[in-house]
């Protein structure tokens, strides 16, 4: 496929996932935090049953950047860890798989907090 087609598929899948989240927030009484938990859990469950991996191969970052992608990474790490080290690997594999992303979020959040002065909303 061409790069333009790849970008279009990535944008369409990522946009569809985000649209589902917005619809859940707008049309139900679910809070944003609950929708986030639903998305991470759905990503993990879909990975466990083998449905999310083909979507990641098709859409790339369009499927891995939204929160369902975080659930995908957690589940994939746990599955790989279980294959290598059994039960202990299942418990630690997800943490190992997501460690770099979590560390980056903490470090960048800290740096931004140092560079800018937060203002409280009234």
- Residue 46: per-residue pLDDT: 95
- Residue 50: per-residue pLDDT: 94
Measuring CA to CA, which residue among 19, 82, 89, 75 is closest to residue 42?
75
- Residue 53: per-residue pLDDT: 94
Secondary structure (H, E, C), the chain? CCHHHHHHHHHHHHHHHHHHHHHHHHHCCCCHHHHHHHHHHHHHHHHHCCCHHHHHHHHCHHHHCCHHHHHHHHHHHHHHHHHHHCHHHHHHHHHHHHHHHHHHHHHHHHHHHHHCCCCCCC
- Residue 1: per-residue pLDDT: 58
Per-residue pLDDT of the chain (122 residues; tens, 9 = 90+): 589 999 999 999 999 999 999 999 999 999 999 999 999 999 999 999 999 999 999 999 999 988 899 999 999 999 999 999 999 999 999 999 999 989 999 999 999 989 998 777 76
């Amino acid at each position: 496929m061409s790069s333009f087609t790849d970008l279009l598929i990535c944008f369409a899948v990522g946009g569809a996932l985000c649209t589902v989240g917005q619809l859940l927030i707008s049309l139900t009484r679910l809070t944003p935090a609950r929708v986030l938990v639903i998305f991470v859990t759905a990503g993990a469950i879909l990975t466990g049953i083998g449905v999310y991996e083909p979507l990641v191969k098709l859409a790339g970052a369009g499927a891995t950047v939204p929160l369902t992608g975080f659930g995908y990474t957690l589940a994939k790490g746990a599955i790989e860890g279980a294959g290598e080290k059994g039960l202990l690997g299942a418990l630690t594999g997800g943490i190992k798989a997501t460690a770099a992303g979590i560390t980056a979020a903490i470090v960048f959040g800290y740096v931004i907090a140092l560079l800018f002065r937060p203002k409280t909303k009234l």
